[in-house]
Chains A and B, each alone.
Chain A
Amino acid sequence: MAANPLLEKAYLAQRERLLRFVRARGAGDAAEDLLQELWLRLAAAPDPAAASGMAYMMRAADRLMIDRYRSAKQAGLREKAWAEAQPGLADNIAPAPGPERSIAARQQLAAVQQALEEVGERAAALFRRHRIDGVSQRALAEEFGISLSTVESDLRRVYARIVDVRRTIDEA
């Protein structure tokens, strides 16, 4: 792939900053490799001019680290499910994966649902309008007749609740 020269120049100018960022994000020894992967992602961006922006590159690096965490976590979960299934298996047949996956999806759905019930009606309604209907926080403040900071703090409460509920599911 022929990379855009301006993008390459912008990337090289920010390289140290990006390296420092992925290290701080917990990349450890893999930092250089991850930066290589980041470069491949940037080079594949549909709009090289936009991808040359500092914020764009930092965000891409952040996303890369989140994806890395996700795949590590999912690999861990798969191993755990496999290990738990072993004692009951007489003949090395892997358990059918389908239902487990849909149950995980349901659990996640239940987590969001539970969080929305616990935060109260206004916060739940704000969250739905914001996340599902895509209404901006400012427009929500107007629609609900409350201040922008109230919208913010309601939304933050919902997010905090979702993270907490999610955590109890993981630990269960």
Chain B
Amino acid sequence: MNGAMIPDQPMREAALAWALRTREPDFEAWDDFTAWLEAAPAHGLAYDEVQFALDEADAALELLPEPVHAPAPAPGYAAANDNPPEPVIGWLSSRRGWLGGAIAASLVLALTSVLWLSPSGERLYATAPGETRLIALKDGSTVELAGGSRIAIEGEREARLEAGQALFTIRHDEADPFVLIAGEDRLVDAGTVFDVRLSGAGVDLAVAEGAVIVNPKGQNLTVTAGGRAVRRPGGRYSLAAVDPQAVGEWSRGRISFESASLAEIAAELSRATGRRFSSTDSATRLSGSIALGEVRDNPRALEALLGVRVRAADADWVLEAE
């Protein structure tokens, strides 16, 4: 960007004041605003920059965790184990070089409290619908847990997805691969970013980076970046291509469907937004991608997005084909 064009502080403040005013739904003083813009070409640039930052902040707010208060110890936790869990914050600060200070700071805030610590050392994490959580493992790997999901982590290299969906960013170690148990399947990483979803039918695996080996002692199926494997009834997997950029996009406030029934879409939306959606229609199938923030704010927005009818019934938003 041209150095001479960078707006100074008072101009930025004025631009911010205008941006906040124009963002109000009942703003009318467009002619006054035009006059301010015409006073100097740099005004428009300063205003764009401010609006851009505010839009980005809005998008980030969707991901913002609730403020962290000292978590109450989970019931049974003290009895189960006398050793408190590793002080993760201390670990993070020692890894700041790798993560970058700012990112580490956000991770600390997003860190979840352990729900349950069993005598075997297994940690159970769970999320409510509409909530997401980031779990940092000691070796630098992370697990982002989607809404309405549950995962048990044993040690650092083994986990069991019990419900819902999670995005794994795993530090690969040839000698000690990360193993995920999902339903009846065993997924072994080979240097990897991958997303796993448990649904009624079974496991849905999508790989963004590296590779994952499904059931090394069974099918021994290797799914590489850009690959998706969906378990069909009977235990067979069907393979499909996936946009690696879209893998785990729920963690960035968006979800995609591919030929999913309205009933499946309703269940997914409930889990992701924390609002209750339902549908009895398992015949109508749709594909597409939805920004969750909009749907959370206004469930009726789905009408335009999916071309369906959205009806409020009791506590549910019911999806119906048009």
A/B pair count, beta carbons within 8 Å: 131
> Which of these, B17, B55, B61, B225, contacts A156 with CB under 8 Å?
B17
Chain A residues near B41: list those with CB within 8 A.
26
Q: Give, as a whole number of angstroms, the nearest-CB distance from B81 to chain A.
A: 31
Q: Give, as a whole number of angstroms, the nearest-CB distance from B70 to chain A.
A: 15
- Once A110-B106, A112-B61 are accepted as A-B contacts, the answer to whether A26 and B22 lie under 8 Å apart by CB is no
> Which of these, A131, A160, A166, contacts B56 with CB under 8 Å?
A166
Chain B residues near A169: list those with CB within 8 A.
102
Residues of A140-172 whose CB lies within 8 A of B: 155-156, 159-160, 162-163, 166-167, 169
Complex-state Cα separation, A24 to B30, whole angstroms: 12
Residues of B89-111 whose CB lies within 8 A of A: 102-103, 105-107, 109-110
B12 within 8 A of A: yes
Contact call B60/A101, Cβ cutoff below 8 A: no
Complex-state Cα separation, A7 to B116, whole angstroms: 60
Name the CB-closest residue of B to A58: B30
* Secondary structure of the B contact surface, majority rule: helix
B37 within 8 A of A: yes
Contact call A98/B209, Cβ cutoff below 8 A: yes
Chain A residues near B67: list those with CB within 8 A.
124, 128
Contact call B245/A25, Cβ cutoff below 8 A: no
A105-125 to B contact mask, C-beta < 8 Å, 1/0: 111111111100000000010
> How many B residues are at the interface, by size bracket?
35 or more
A interface residues, how many (CB within 8 angstroms): 48
Contact call B45/A166, Cβ cutoff below 8 A: no
> Which of these, B16, B30, B58, contacts A160 with CB under 8 Å?
B16
Q: Give, as a whole number of angstroms, the nearest-CB distance from A22 to chain B.
A: 10
Chain A residues near B232: list those with CB within 8 A.
none
* Secondary structure of the A contact surface, majority rule: helix
Contact call A70/B52, Cβ cutoff below 8 A: yes
> Which of these, A25, A105, A166, contacts B44 with CB under 8 Å?
A25
Name the CB-closest residue of B to A63: B51
Chain B residues near A107: list those with CB within 8 A.
102-103
> Which of these, A24, A59, A132, A163, contacts B64 with CB under 8 Å?
A132
Contact call A98/B16, Cβ cutoff below 8 A: no
User: Which B residues form the contact surface with A (CB < 8 A)?
Assistant: 12-13, 16-17, 19-20, 22, 27-28, 30-31, 34, 37-38, 41, 44-45, 47-61, 63-64, 67, 102-103, 105-107, 109-110, 169, 193, 208-209, 225, 244-245, 247-248, 251-252, 297, 304
8 cross-chain CB contacts under 8 A: A25-B47, A70-B55, A96-B225, A105-B63, A107-B102, A107-B103, A112-B60, A159-B19
User: Which A residues form the contact surface with B (CB < 8 A)?
Assistant: 17, 20-21, 24-26, 46, 54-55, 58-59, 62, 65-66, 69-70, 73, 96-99, 101-103, 105-114, 124, 128, 131-132, 134, 155-156, 159-160, 162-163, 166-167, 169
Closest 5 CB pairs of A and B: A24-B37, A26-B44, A110-B106, A69-B48, A58-B30
